[in-house]
Amino acid sequence: MTDIHDNPLDAPNADPFEIAARAAADIARLTGVENHDIALTLGSGWGKAAELIGETIATIPATEVTGFSKPALAGHVGTLRSIRTPGGKNVLVIGARTHYYENHGVRRVVHSVRTAAATGAKIMVLTNGAGGARESWKPGQPVLISDHINLTADSPLEGATFIDLTDLYSTRLRDVARTIDPSLDEGVYTQFRGPHYETPAEVQMAKKMGGDIVGMSTALEAIAAREAGMEILGFSLITNLAAGIQKTPLSHTEVIEAGQAAEPVISALLARVVEAL
Ligand code: 8IG
């Protein structure tokens, strides 16, 4: 029902939580699954995880769900899936991320997270493809997100909503992930606005501020997930070393190719982590 130019979230008097509740009701009706336990946003490189997590109960186009935007990029699958794990947990897999750089406002960026919370999910797993600012990291390597620096100068919180962001990327859940793969490294995710990649000077700035990973998503979503009371686990696939860290210019094709090569490995890892949550 929603069209990119006609979204209820854009109405001046819209209540984003009421719209998320409507979206959750759409998901329950269209999937036949009343409640979900875990939600998982699949970023670039992570798409194959869905098949490995469990049995797909239903796949629905995001455009059938209240408030969802059409995907901006071909290859960003605009579907929502309900998957039952072997252990009996219901996982909502969100393959329809709206990026901040699409300029539809932060409400649309975090609508999937608010919807996930409204379906009952207590854990939000956020994954992305990103650049690595540490020389020791290799393209194709997954890393845990330990914290973030939000350089968008924006927030999903509306009004005087003061939310603590300590331990935003749950230490407990990172420990669970490391029981599956003890070699997982971790780092601070820095969200830039994009869609351009950083200059080498901006990457150096991010590093001096304490950033290790550079990307264009996740931080705003994590803030909304915390507001909604969910526990958060974040993963970045380092698809490329950030500008100036690697010696050659960044190409979108290379980024996609590195993601495709790593996809089976990191998807299997993610499926095992989800089962352990
Ligand atoms: I994939 O190097 C991917 N996404 N900001 N910088 C930013 N986002 C990214 C990058 C990168 N690689």
For ligand 1, whether the C-beta of 50 sits within 6 Å is: no
Question: DSSP class of residue 86?
Answer: T
What's the 72 CA to ligand 1 centre distance in angstroms?
16
pTM for the predicted model, two decimal places: 0.94
- Which residue is closest in CA terms to ligand 1's atom 7? 215
> Could you report the per-residue pLDDT of 101-121, keeping only the tens digit for each?
999 999 999 999 999 999 999
Please report the pLDDT score of residue 253 as a whole number: 83
> Could you report the per-residue pLDDT of 64-95, keeping only the tens digit for each?
999 997 655 554 548 999 999 999 999 999 99
The domains of the chain are located at 8-276
Predicted confidence band of residue 136 (pLDDT cuts 50, 70, 90): very high
Please report the pLDDT score of residue 4 as a whole number: 46
For residues 234-239, average pLDDT: 95
Q: Where are the beta strands (DSSP E) in the chain?
A: 38-41, 55-61, 79-84, 90-94, 123-132, 141-150, 185-191, 213-215, 231-241
By most ligand atoms within 8 Å of CB, the mutation choice from 73, 126, 138, 197 for ligand 1 is 197
Please report the pLDDT score of residue 47 as a whole number: 86
What's the 204 CA to ligand 1 centre distance in angstroms?
14
Q: Which of 102, 186, 198, 231 is catalytic?
A: 198
**CA-to-CA distance for 132 and 118, rounded, in angstroms?**
33
**CA-to-CA distance for 111 and 99, rounded, in angstroms?**
11
Query: Which residues neighbour 53 within 8 Å (Cβ) at sequence distance 6 or greater?
Result: 40, 83, 85, 91, 93, 270, 271, 274, 275
**CA-to-CA distance for 198 and 204, rounded, in angstroms?**
10
For residues 180-204, average pLDDT: 97
Predicted confidence band of residue 249 (pLDDT cuts 50, 70, 90): confident
Predicted confidence band of residue 3 (pLDDT cuts 50, 70, 90): very low
Assigned token pair, 84: 């039952």
For ligand 1, whether the C-beta of 23 sits within 6 Å is: no
Predicted confidence band of residue 45 (pLDDT cuts 50, 70, 90): confident
By most ligand atoms within 8 Å of CB, the mutation choice from 240, 241, 248, 266 for ligand 1 is 240
Q: What is the torsional sign of CA 251, 110, 33, 84?
A: positive
* In the predicted structure, residue 232 carries a pLDDT above the cut 60: yes
For residues 18-30, average pLDDT: 98
For the domain spanning 8-276, the CATH number is 3.40.50.1580
Please report the pLDDT score of residue 70 as a whole number: 65
* In the predicted structure, residue 123 carries a pLDDT above the cut 60: yes
Please report the pLDDT score of residue 74 as a whole number: 55
Average pLDDT, the chain: 92
Is residue 198 among the annotated active site residues?
Answer: yes
For ligand 1, whether the C-beta of 202 sits within 6 Å is: no
What's the 135 CA to ligand 1 centre distance in angstroms?
15
Please report the pLDDT score of residue 72 as a whole number: 59
